[in-house]
Structure 1
Amino acid sequence: MTVFEFSLRLGTALLAGLAIGFERQWHHKTAGLRTNMLVAMGAAVFVLLSISIADVASGVDVSRITAQVVTGVGFLGAGIIFREGSNVHGLTSAATVWCSAAIGCLAATGMYMETLVASVFVIFINSLLMPLDKWLNNRK
């Protein structure tokens, strides 16, 4: 992989994390701009590393590192969730961080259109469905 391709894929992951994180920060939610950018970038770096290792060594399973990204980000997301009495907060932020990692993985594999579509879907769910979510929670 060339330095340009590496930079393009990593930059795509950063931009996707930026867009998702901007929406979270705009709505004053936990795990905002920097968190989502770092998670998307970190996931992309791990996937790019596995791709680079596979290019050098034969018989390497590139999915092993990606599988560990899923596990690691799940652990990170658990730290975002907290319980206050009978209420649980942070589930959506944790799920968004998980999605940011997945989108970073997409970007790292060069799936640019898929990265865009997934990012738009996450932003749509978090921002445009918020009024519907509030309405459903407040109905009697």
Structure 2
Amino acid sequence: METFWMELRLMQGLLAAFVLSGLIGWEREQRNRSAGLRTHILVGVSAALFVVLADTLILRFSDDAPQVRFDLVGVLGAVVSGVSFLGAGAIFSDRRGEGAKGLTTAAGLLATAGVGVACGLHLYVLATGATLLFLFTLGWLGRLVGEPLRKRPASGDQPEAE
């Protein structure tokens, strides 16, 4: 029964990642970007889960085998690499070769993973502060530089990546 309560406590980080990542995803959804609510929640909660699992493995097995090295930093690097690979798929050049699209989407996914990692480490104030900074950057700064809001596509149309 003690294991149940411990795992429930670990779920706090995932739930916080769900809420905070959802806020970032909601902002992207309102701007009709290709990576919206569900994508950002999946990235944030996955990052939190990987950190919680790594931390749990370290705590559970570090005393059993002193010759085995556990590396939480390696897990963080793997999360960053994985999300960066995902973000790279969101970036593409326009047909005229005049620039790249999807950079903000890719950066938003990486930022969301960072929020998830912070939640996985139970750093809720840091995660909330970072989320507010990201929302300010995506929302108000986007309006300041004149980024237009996109209308919702007709049913069947695909939203464009940024």
TM-score w.r.t. the length of structure 2 is: 0.80
Counterpart Cα distance in 2 of 1:108 and 1:57: 19
Counterpart Cα distance in 2 of 1:23 and 1:77: 17
Give the corresponding residue for 2:135.
123
Q: How much does 1:13 deviate?
A: 0.5
Q: Structure 1 residue runs of 4+, over 2 Å off?
A: none
Counterpart Cα distance in 1 of 2:85 and 2:19: 24
Matched, 1:114 2:93: no
Matched, 1:17 2:3: no
TM-score w.r.t. the length of structure 1 is: 0.92
User: What are the ranges of 5 or more consecutive residues in structure 1 without an aligned counterpart?
Assistant: 136-140
Answer 1 or 2: which has greater helix percent: 1
Aligned residues: 135
User: What are the ranges of 5 or more consecutive residues in structure 2 without an aligned counterpart?
Assistant: 63-68, 148-162
Matched, 1:79 2:89: yes
Counterpart Cα distance in 1 of 2:39 and 2:103: 15
Root mean square deviation of aligned Cα: 1.3
1:1-140 → structure 2 map (5 Å cutoff):
2-58=6-62, 59-84=69-94, 85=96, 86-134=98-146
Q: Percent identity?
A: 32
Q: How much does 1:4 deviate?
A: 2.2
Q: How much does 1:31 deviate?
A: 0.7
